[in-house]
Amino acid sequence: MDLKELLAATSLNLTEAQISQAEKYIDQILRWNKTRNLVSRNLGKNELAEHFLDCAVLQEHLLPGPVIDLGSGSGFPGICLGIIDPNREATLVDSNRKKTSFLTHIKNELGLNLVSVKNSRVEEIKQINETNVVCRAFKEPVDLLKSIESKISRKNKIILMVSKREIPAIPGFDVEYKESEASKILEKKRGFLEIQMS
């Protein structure tokens, strides 16, 4: 299935303009990936469409309020969330300058005015004020929580994208696994760990 078909199979009601933005985003990743290592060179348009779908359905798990994407890389899920909900503030954090250059370029290209990009290591962030903290394939859940524990509070909801149903026991945190809507569409194991301080 191509991107348009994948998105049509979700409960998201996207406009033609949003689908066009998503297609442009994937085309730009493929273009930039020829000279910069944004994603695996083995990934084609269909695989990137699946990644986009994975990230797009994360939207339904967010609390109202801004979102921060830690280790944003090529913008999965941060740019996807910016396209899906252009009225939500999103901060994309990555320590790799090539990747933050791409993120800045694509946010401007797509007119995602509420998306901001930060070239920084997670360890350098003093405080996380955004309500939602999202992360895809950046760090193991336990390691991530250790690195941000002193920067968050009970108001933060942390959502980690995972491909297997493993619920780690993390002292001081409530962890719940939720199956992703993408699981049924892609017929692959996809889910989210929803984490909040106890």
Write out pLDDT tens, residues 57-102.
999 999 999 999 999 999 999 999 999 999 999 999 999 999 999 9
Q: Which two tokens stand for residue 23?
A: 């297609």
User: Contact 101/119 with Cβ under 8 angstroms?
Assistant: no
Bridge partners of 192, per DSSP, are: 161, 178
**Which residue, among 95, 66, 90, 94, has the nearest Cα to 80 in the 3D structure?**
90
Distance from C-alpha of 5 to C-alpha of 29, rounded to nearest angstrom? 20
Which of 56-70, 135-149, 160-174 holds the top average pLDDT? 56-70
Phi then psi for residue 160, to 5 deg, are -110, 135
Alpha helices by DSSP H, listed for 34-109, are 45-56, 78-84, 97-109
Structure confidence at residue 139 as a pLDDT band (50, 70, 90): confident
Mean pLDDT of the chain: 95
Helix (H), strand (E) counts: the chain? 7, 7
Domains of the chain and any CATH numbers: 3-197 (3.40.50.150)
End-to-end CA distance of the chain: 41
State pLDDT tens for residues 38-51: 998 888 899 999 99
